[in-house]
Structure 1
Amino acid sequence: MNLTLLLFQGDGGGLFWAIAPFLLIFGIFYFLVILPQKRQRQQLQEMIANLKINDEVVTNGGVIGKIKEIKETSFIIHSADKSFLEIGKSAVVGKRAEEGK
């Protein structure tokens, strides 16, 4: 029997079964990669929105500093004795844990 006849035999459900593996792979990818990343990004945005003066933050460049002023799109942080830096809010990757706890 011809191979093409074997491939196209069926009751019309061939298209669904042809794309079912792709749908399954997308579903697994969504729940294992996209959804956790979305949650993590949302938690970081909430944390940045709740920062206040004198909170210690860590930037994506590794700079640790204490917030001295909050602007619309940036923070002024105090990182050393006489060092004040203006960093964008998007540069903050975390809040430094308090050492007493």
Structure 2
Amino acid sequence: MFSTAAYAQDAAVAAQPGLLEGFLPIILIVFIFYFLVIRPQSKRMKQHREMIANVRRGDTVVTAGGIIGKVAKVKEDNEVEVDIAEGTRIRVVASTISEVRAKGEPAKTDS
């Protein structure tokens, strides 16, 4: 009678996982989450920043709102003037440019 209770307690102690074995699944989940979500998102953000930095006059761009136009002027304070129709020019925040469709050459000025 006493010996069976002792065996039952011994089996319960042996079945408890160690500290590393308890945290291993959490560490594995964080590792997978980093490579599947965080790293690709940071690469996309870096590419978008580079695209915005390389926008020049004459480029055809698409804004986040779906407006397609040609860049008329790039301002220093993160604004871009975009021609969307003849005689219609709008100012947009440079970070709202979602795509550069065609790279254009800047117009030559006569000086």
State the TM-score, normalizing by the size of structure 2: 0.76
Q: RMSD across aligned C-alpha pairs, in angstroms?
A: 2.2
**Ranges of 4+ aligned residues in structure 1 off by more than 6 Å:** none
Highest Rg: 1 or 2? Answer: 2
- 1:29 paired with 2:33, answer yes
* Structure 2 counterpart SS, 1:26: helix
- 1:60 paired with 2:64, answer yes
Taking the aligned partners of 1:97 and 1:52, their CA distance within structure 2 comes to 11
State the TM-score, normalizing by the size of structure 1: 0.83
Is contact 2:59-2:102 (8 Å) kept? no
Unaligned runs of 5+ in 2: 1-7, 104-111
Taking the aligned partners of 1:64 and 1:96, their CA distance within structure 2 comes to 9
How many aligned positions are there?
Answer: 95
Unaligned runs of 5+ in 1: none
Taking the aligned partners of 1:80 and 1:19, their CA distance within structure 2 comes to 60
* Percent identical residues: 37
Q: Which has the higher contact order (CA 8 A, sep 6+)?
A: 2
